[in-house]
A and B are shown apart, each in its own frame.
Chain A
Amino acid sequence: MIACLAAANPVLAASKISLQVGRAEFEGLRIEDLGFTWTPSEGSAGKAGVRAARIRGIAATGPLSAVSIDCAELLVSGDLLSCKAGRISGALGSLGGQNTGFSARRQADGSLRLHLDSVALAGARASVDLLLHGSNWALDSSLSEIDIAAMATIAVPWFRLPEEFTAAGRASGRLKAGGRNDDVTTANVDLEIAGLDFADAAGSLAGEAVAGKLNVKLVVDAAGDFATDGSLALTGGQAYSDPVFLDFGAHRMSVDFAGTLSSDATRFGAREFSLVHDGVAVVSGSATLDLAGESMLRQAKLTISDLDLASALPAYVQPYLIRTSLKDIEGLGHVHGEVDVADGLPGRAQLTFNQVTLDSQTGSLSVSGLGGTLNWFDDASRSELAGEVDDNSVRSSLSWESANLWGIEFGAVELPFTTTGRHFRLLEPVLLPIFDGGIAIETLQIRHAGTDQMYLRFDAELRPISVALLNRTLGWPAFSGTISGRIPGLQLSQGVVTLDGNIEAAVFDGRIVVRDLSLSDPLGRFPRLHASIDVENLDLELVTSTFSFGMITGRLSGRVENLEIFNWMPVSFDARFQTPAGDRSKHRISQRAVKNLSSIGGGSGGGVAAALQGGFLKFFDSFRYERLGLSCLLANDVCTMNGVENTAAGYYIVKGAGLPRINVIGSQSRVAWTRLVRQLSAMLESEIVVE
C-alpha cells in the first residue's frame, strides 16, 4: 500500500506514461526520487521501468541506491502479470552493485515467481529463483565461487563470527530454503568448499586450505529448532584445534549426522552420527556439541569400531602428552571399544587392544603384543555403578608378549587390574619375567597418575635373575651371579622413585647391597639416579677371571657412597675398595695382573713388563701380597685417587708380602674421569718397586 505520496507529478505523453514521485514510504521502506515509466505496445503488453535514487529501511543490506528495474515485455492479463527479459541494476547495500536480467510472473493463485539470472553475491554470481505466495516464500539459488569472507560480512545480520575470528575461501553449490515472513522453515544446503582458511585470535582453532563438501537438510521442528540431517566430507587442507592437528589431504574425514540444531545454532545434538577418518579411526554414536563453547564435545556415547594406532597416536594422543615423558610415543596395531563423554570429559571407556605395539624413545619404554581389555571409569561413574554391577564388569586385563624398559626385556605377562579416574590397582599378584627370573609383584597401586601428586606403591620380590644375562643386555662385562631379594616398598612421588629398603645381589661369592636408591625423572630424557653401594667380601679370583684382567686371589670389600648418575653416566661418587680387614684367604697376584695394574694409565707399563720378564722375576707366575685397595672420589670430572697406605712416592695400590716382594704404588692423585673411562680399567699412573 502506498501510505503517503508527496509531490506527485504525473506527465502524460502519447506513447509513454511516466510518474515521478519525490518521496514515498512503503511498508517501512523510505524511497527517494521514485519514478515509474510505462510504454504500452499492442494489446495488454508494454515496457515498464521503475527508478529510485535511494531506498532506506532494509536492515539486512543497508540503503540501496540508483535502483532501476526495467521490464522489456510486461504483460498484464486478468490476474496474470509477467515480465520477460527484465533487468535490475543498482547498488544494493551490502550486496554491492547489481546488474542482472530477471523475469517475473504473477500467477492466478496470487503467487509471484521471480527469477534472477545473475545476482552479484560476495564476489561471485548466483542465479536465484524465488517463489512468493502470501507470507510464504521459497528460494532456490545456485552459487558459484562465493567468497566466504565477503559472505560472512553480508551474513552479519543473521550470523556473526566470534570476535577476531577470520574466515576466507570459496564455496559453490546450491542453496534451497523456504519460510514464512522473516523465518526460515526449511533449508537444503549443498556446498562445495575450497581453500577455506580460518583462525581465531588465540590460534587454538585454525584451518588452512580446507576443502570439502557439506550437504545438510534443515527442517524447523515444533520447538523451533532445526531437525538436521546431512553429511560433511573434508578432502583437503589442514586443521588445528588445540592441540590436535589434522591433515585432511593425508587422511580424509567424512561424517554423516542426524540430529537437532538449536534455533540459535549454538548447540547440535547428534542423535546418531558416523565418522570415518580414513586410515585413522571409524567412530559412530551420539553426541552433543557445544558449537560456541570452549570444549566442543559436551556429551557423547561413542562406539570406536577401529582406531589404527599408527596414525591415531600422532594425531590424537601425542599432542596431549607433549608435557610428559611419553611425548614421542609411537604405535602399531588396532584398538576398538566404547567411550562415554559427560560434561565435556570422558566418563567411561572400554577399549580392546589387538596386537598393539607401543614405543617411546625418550621414555625408554616399549611394549609389543599388547592385548586385552581396558575398563576405565571416572571416579563419579564408578561410585554411581557401585553395587549395580559385579566386579567383573569393572575389571581390566591387559597382557603383552614382551616389554622393554631402559633396555631390560620383560617377558609375557597378564595383568588383571582395576582403574578409575587417575588410579590403578593390580588385583592379583603376577610374575613379570625378566631373563631367567623375574619380579613377583604383590602390590602395584598408582594414585593421581599424571599429576604432581602422583603416588605409586610397588611391593615385589626378585626371583633370581642371572647377572650374566642382565650384563649382556646392558653392555657390561659378563660375570656370573644372581640378583635376588625383595624390592621393598618402591614408591614414586613427585616424580622420584625411591625404595624403602635395599636391593641385594649375590655375585662373585660375595654380596652387593644397593642402599638409598632414588631415581628422578625415571621416564624423562635425563634420568638421575642416586644410590650408595656396599660391596662385601667378593672373591677376587672370580672377579679377575671374569674381566680377564690377570688372576688375583683374595677377597675384596668396599663401598660406593653418594653415587650420582645423570643420564646413565656417573657424575660423582666416593668409592673405596680394599682387602677386608682380617681376611685370611690366600693373597696372590699374577704377573699379568701386576702388569695390568701398573700399565694402566699408560706410561710405565712397558718398563714394568720388561722388569718382570727380565732377571729372576720371570720365574715367578705370581706374587704374594699383604693387601690391596684403591679409592676414587669423583667430582667435577676428576677422580681423586688413593690406595691402601701412603708412601713417600704416592700410595700403595698393592702392598706386597714375602719375597720377591712387589709393591704397586700409584703416584698420580688426580685423574680426569673421561680418560679413566676411555682406558677401561686404566686407573692410575703407577710404578713397580721390587724389593
Chain B
Amino acid sequence: MIRWITTGIVVGCLALAACVTINVYFPAAAAEKAADRIIEDIWGPGKAAEPAPNEQSSLGIRGGELMLTALRGTLDFVVPAAQAQADIDVSSPAIRTLTSSMKARAADLEQFFASGAIGLTSDGLVDLRDVNSVPLADRNRARKLVADENADRSALYAEIANANGHPEWESDIRGTFAQRWIANARAGWYYKKGSGDWARK
C-alpha cells in the first residue's frame, strides 16, 4: 500500500516538473508611473511645476498609451513570447472615454476637495467627508459627483487591467492608483488612512 502511494507521489512530481508554469507578475513600478500620467492628465500638472497646460486630448491619449506601453514593456521582460505582438499604438477607447469623463468632472470635484467636503479613500475612490461644509443646495450635487467619479474610477481600473489582458490585475491597479491619487493630491486635501481615519495632506 505504502509503496503505491510513494510511487504516486513520485509520478506526480515528475508530472509537475514537466509542466511549464508561467507566472506573470504585476509590474508595480511601471503601473505607478502610468497612474501618475493618467492622474496628471485628469487633475492637471502638480502645483510645483505649473507649466502651461498641455492640449488636453493629446495628453489624455498619451497617458493611456504610456500606461499600456509601460505595462507591456515589463511584461515582455517576464514572458517575452506571450506579448511578442504587442508594440505600437496601444490605447483603448474605453480608457480615453473614462479619462476624459473624469477630467471633465475634475474642476467640480476640486472645489469640494479644497473645502474638505470630499476626500480620497484608501481603495482608490472618493468619499464624502464633511457634508456640513457643503451648501444645502449643493449636497446632492456633491453626492452625485462622488457616485459618478467612483463609477468611472472603478471602470477605469477594470479597463486598464482588461486592456492589458490581465483582468486579475484590477485590484493591484486599484491599489496603485489609491496611492498615487494621494501622492498627487494638492496640499490641504484630505485622504483616508488605512486605519479609516481622515488625514490632511
Report if A526-B131 is in contact (Cβ < 8 Å); known contacts: A322-B147, A327-B147, A637-B92.
no
For chain B residues 12-64, which have a beta carbon within 8 Å of chain A?
A: none
Q: Is the CB of A323 within 8 A of B91?
A: no
Q: Is the CB of B136 within 8 A of A323?
A: no
Q: Is the CB of A322 within 8 A of B144?
A: yes
- Binary interface profile of A, 221-243, with partner B (CB < 8 Å = 1, else 0)? 00000000000000000111011
- Binary interface profile of A, 104-142, with partner B (CB < 8 Å = 1, else 0)? 000000000000000000000000000000000000000
Q: Does chain A have a CB within 8 A of B135?
A: yes
Q: Is the CB of B137 within 8 A of A238?
A: yes
Q: Is the CB of A526 within 8 A of B97?
A: yes
A323 to B89, CA, bound (A): 35
Q: Is the CB of B88 within 8 A of A323?
A: no
In the complex, residue of chain A having the shortest beta-carbon distance to the beta carbon of B94: A566
B-side contacts of A245, CB under 8 Å: 136-137, 139-140
For the complex formed, measure the closest distance between the CB of B60 and the CB atoms of chain A, giving whole angstroms.
Answer: 13
Q: Does chain A have a CB within 8 A of B163?
A: yes
Q: Does chain A have a CB within 8 A of B151?
A: yes
Q: Is the CB of B92 within 8 A of A636?
A: yes
Interface size for chain A: under 10, 10 to 19, 20 to 34, or 35 or more residues? 20 to 34
Q: Does chain A have a CB within 8 A of B185?
A: no
Binds B, one of A200-208, A260-268, A507-515: A200-208
Q: Does chain A have a CB within 8 A of B132?
A: yes
For chain B residues 57-99, which have a beta carbon within 8 Å of chain A?
A: 68, 86, 88-94, 97-98
Q: Is the CB of B92 within 8 A of A204?
A: no
In the complex, residue of chain A having the shortest beta-carbon distance to the beta carbon of B128: A203
A122 to B170, CA, bound (A): 60
A636 to B87, CA, bound (A): 10
Q: Does chain B have a CB within 8 A of A313?
A: no
- Binary interface profile of B, 176-200, with partner A (CB < 8 Å = 1, else 0)? 0000000000000000000000000
Report whether over half of chain B's contact residues are helix, strand or loop; otherwise say mixed: helix
Q: Does chain A have a CB within 8 A of B168?
A: no
B-side contacts of A242, CB under 8 Å: 139
B-side contacts of A566, CB under 8 Å: 92-94, 97, 159
- Binary interface profile of A, 145-172, with partner B (CB < 8 Å = 1, else 0)? 0000000000000000000000000000
Q: Does chain B have a CB within 8 A of A473?
A: no
A526 to B158, CA, bound (A): 13
- Binary interface profile of A, 525-567, with partner B (CB < 8 Å = 1, else 0)? 1101000000000000000000000000000000000000011
For the complex formed, measure the closest distance between the CB of B151 and the CB atoms of chain A, giving whole angstroms.
Answer: 7
Q: Does chain A have a CB within 8 A of B108?
A: no
In the complex, residue of chain B having the shortest beta-carbon distance to the beta carbon of A327: B144
Q: Is the CB of A243 within 8 A of B140?
A: yes
In the complex, residue of chain A having the shortest beta-carbon distance to the beta carbon of B93: A569
Q: Is the CB of A636 within 8 A of B140?
A: no
A-side contacts of B130, CB under 8 Å: 203
Report if A203-B98 is in contact (Cβ < 8 Å); known contacts: A636-B89, A636-B90, A637-B91.
no
Taking Cβ atoms with an 8 Å cutoff, the residues of A that contact B are: 199, 201-204, 206-208, 238-240, 242-243, 245, 247, 318-319, 322-323, 327, 524-526, 528, 566-567, 569-571, 636-638, 670, 672
Taking A322-B147, A528-B94 as known contacts, 9 extra A-B pairs with beta carbons closer than 8 A to each other, sorted by chain A number, are A239-B136, A322-B140, A566-B92, A569-B93, A636-B90, A636-B91, A636-B92, A637-B93, A672-B89
Return the 9 tightest CB-CB contacts between A and B, nearest first: A203-B131, A203-B132, A566-B94, A240-B136, A636-B90, A238-B136, A569-B93, A638-B89, A322-B144
- Some 28 contacts from A to B, beta carbons below 8 A apart, are A199-B132, A201-B132, A203-B131, A203-B132, A206-B132, A207-B136, A238-B136, A239-B136, A240-B136, A243-B143, A245-B136, A245-B140, A247-B137, A322-B144, A327-B147, A525-B101, A526-B98, A567-B94, A569-B93, A569-B97, A571-B94, A636-B89, A636-B90, A636-B92, A637-B90, A637-B93, A670-B89, A672-B89
